[in-house]
């Protein structure tokens, strides 16, 4: 078998980037295999060495699940045994940092989960290189090589003692002397004469024992920890905060939404904000309960649309026969005490302003987030968002569904959006006209209606005609119907005309409705 089967070099980009962990997948398998070997070895030695060793092992493995690191002056704790299986997380967690100790001065915080210990070896001499390589390969057959002006390379060997295929020379500046043919080094981007800057050894921590062992070996000037995020915990916390309806959550959620680099976390936070906005709309309803200081009111004393909205959010149950509306315990009964504060905070205007910045595809590439922002605007209905919404509606680079949602949001804002929609209708392309007309139909009112009728009478473009007919039918008042009748009369003779067929359909529906 050739050497390539045992060792490989792979480009190692952007050290420190969390996404980088994917690169480690390949090596963790090797580590597992090796760990297994070690245990097997232990099993085979045991019968020979007998009970004294067994006793020692029991004492050693029976150590506490906590460890105070005297040198760093911090306490670390073993993770729950099933954390690895459930969340693919390993390491130790910092539970206590002694004030003003080395860990504290480095701003390592309690709660951080140490997953890697990173040792960095600057290469100034040939023996620096050889030692670092030996160290790096000794434990887990894995390190990262930094060459000047080149991307970092991850070096991983399948078996201890395999040849990397590199030798170096020089002092002060260490250069590649030879790349042995047939080795992985020969197949990678390494050239004779490349300057070796450093070797970084990233060691994954599996247990408290691992931690102690690795730390004991590093007698360097410094130690670097890489900490991992249990993203699931934060996502769960963000979602829970959306459900709890507490005003204190708003600022932190906005902060995560604006600043987090984790997309999943940003998505969770905007959907939690959306939930909080939906809850805040029901403030009037909850205040009705709060003022009476009860959890049950006669159903007919509450506005029907409030009842419906709250029932959809599963916050209260309505019993028509008993005529009762009862807040759902535990949430509904507790939320009435908090709804006022939430309502006030959300209507301060800060949130509306924030989300309108994120509805543009140029600002926010993630469509799920743009949609959530539009939904929030549809509830808050800020007049200040009209221009931004028209830009989305008119953007041919945007997904049609989102352009339509922008139109819907404008129709939710209502009357104040009419002028902007008329302008969009007059100047936009066919899709824009389509969406704007439909939004105008949704808003209704004299001004929107007259403009739509006028447009219908002046256009001969079939697609636009259909949209306009649909929008005018939605308004459905007497002048609208008269205008549609006029159209029908105009196309009466034309058997195959799409607009005639559509108009027949519209009138049929209207008749059915009035029946």
Where on the chain is the footprint of another protein (CB under 8 A)? 16, 18, 62-65, 71-72, 77-83, 85-87, 92-95, 102-103, 105-113, 118, 220-230, 232-234, 236-241, 243-246, 248-249, 252, 256, 330-331, 334-335, 337-338
Q: Which is nearer to another protein, 218 or 361 (CB)?
A: 218
C-beta closer to another protein: residue 334 or 360? 334
Distance (Å, rounded) from C-alpha 277 to C-alpha 189? Answer: 54
Residue number with CB closer to another protein (329 or 478): 329
- Minimal distance in Å, beta carbon 169 to another protein? 31
* Closest CB 346 distance from another protein, rounded Å: 16
Structure-token pair, residue 135: 């160290």
Residue 492 CB contacts under 8 Å (≥ 6 apart), including other chains? 500
What SS3 class is residue 33?
Answer: helix
- Helix, coil or strand: residue 342: helix
Nearest-approach distance from CB 253 to another protein, in angstroms = 9
CB 282 within 8 A of CB 292: no
Strand order in the sheet with 296-298: 296-298, 324-327, 316-319
Phi then psi for residue 101, to 5 deg, are: -80, 175
Nearer to another protein, 14 or 363 (CB): 14
Do residues 469 and 484 make contact, with C-beta atoms less than 8 angstroms apart? Answer: yes
- Least separation, in Å, of the C-beta of 73 and another protein? 10
For the CB of residue 356, give the shortest distance to another protein in the complex, in Å.
24
**Smallest distance from the beta carbon of 127 to another protein, in angstroms?**
23
Question: Shortest approach of another protein to residue 279 CB, angstroms?
Answer: 11
Choose between 77 and 290: whose C-beta lies nearer to another protein. 77
Q: Give strand pairing partners of 75.
A: 68, 96
Neighbouring C-beta atoms of residue 123, cutoff 10 Å: 23
- Classify 128 as helix, strand or coil: helix
Q: Is the dihedral of CA 434, 436, 440, 442 positive or negative?
A: positive
Q: Which is nearer to another protein, 246 or 366 (CB)?
A: 246
- 3-state SS class at 143: strand
Give the shortest CB-201-to-another protein separation in angstroms: 13
Q: How far is CA 98 from CA 69, 72, 219, 411, in A?
A: 10, 9, 21, 58
Name residue 96's beta-bridge partners.
Answer: 75
Closer to another protein by CB, 245 or 382: give it.
Answer: 245
Of residues 242 and 378, the one with the C-beta less far from another protein: 242
């Amino acid at each position: 078998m050739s050497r390539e089967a045992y060792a490989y070099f792979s480009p190692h980009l952007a050290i420190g980037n969390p996404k980088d962990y994917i690169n480690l997948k390949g090596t963790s398998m090797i580590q597992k295999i090796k760990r297994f070997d070690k245990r097997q070895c232990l099993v085979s030695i045991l019968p020979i060495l007998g009970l004294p060793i067994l006793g020692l092992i029991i004492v050693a493995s029976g150590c506490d699940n906590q460890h105070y690191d005297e040198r760093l002056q911090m306490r670390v704790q073993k993770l729950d045994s099933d954390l690895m299986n459930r969340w693919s997380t390993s390491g130790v967690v910092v539970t206590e940092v002694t004030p003003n100790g080395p860990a504290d001065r480095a701003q390592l915080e309690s709660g951080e989960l140490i997953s890697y210990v990173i040792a960095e070896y600057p290469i100034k001499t040939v023996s620096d290189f050889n030692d670092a390589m030996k160290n790096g390969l000794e434990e887990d057959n894995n390190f990262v090589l930094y060459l000047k002006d080149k991307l970092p390379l991850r070096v991983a060997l399948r078996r201890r003692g395999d040849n990397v295929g590199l030798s170096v020379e020089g002092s002060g500046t260490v250069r590649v002397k030879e790349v042995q043919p047939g080795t992985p080094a020969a197949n990678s981007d390494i050239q004779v004469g490349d300057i070796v800057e450093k070797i970084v050894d990233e060691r994954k921590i599996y247990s408290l024992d691992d931690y102690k062992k690795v730390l004991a070996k590093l007698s360097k000037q410094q130690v670097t920890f890489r900490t991992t995020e249990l993203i699931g915990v934060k996502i769960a916390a963000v979602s829970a905060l959306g459900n709890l309806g507490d005003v204190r959550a708003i600022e932190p959620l906005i902060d995560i939404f604006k600043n987090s680099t984790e997309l999943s976390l940003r998505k969770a936070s905007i959907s939690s904000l959306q939930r909080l906005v939906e809850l805040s709309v029901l403030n009037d309803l909850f205040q009705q309960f709060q003022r009476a200081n009860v959890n049950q009111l006669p159903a007919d004393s509450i506005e029907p649309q409030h009842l419906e909205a709250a029932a959809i959010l599963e916050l209260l149950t309505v019993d028509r026969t008993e005529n009762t509306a009862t807040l759902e315990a535990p949430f509904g009964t507790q939320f009435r005490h908090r709804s006022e504060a939430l309502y006030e905070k959300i209507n301060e205007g800060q949130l509306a302003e924030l989300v309108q910045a994120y509805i543009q595809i140029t600002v926010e590439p993630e469509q799920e987030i743009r949609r959530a922002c539009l939904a929030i605007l549809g509830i808050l209905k800020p007049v200040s968002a009209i221009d931004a919404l028209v830009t989305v509606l008119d953007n041919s680079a945007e997904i049609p569904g989102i352009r339509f949602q922008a139109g819907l949001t404008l129709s939710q804002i209502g009357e104040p959006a009419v002028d902007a929609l008329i302008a969009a209708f007059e100047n936009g392309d066919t899709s824009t006209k389509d969406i704007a007309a439909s939004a105008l139909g949704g808003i209704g009112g004299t001004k929107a209606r007259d403009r739509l009728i006028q447009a219908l009478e002046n256009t001969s473009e079939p697609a636009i005609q259909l949209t306009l007919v649909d929008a005018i039918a939605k308004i459905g008042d007497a002048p609208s119907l008269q205008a549609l009748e006029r159209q029908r009369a105009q196309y009466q003779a034309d058997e195959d005309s799409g607009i005639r067929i559509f108009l027949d359909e519209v009138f049929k529906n209207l008749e059915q409705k009035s029946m």
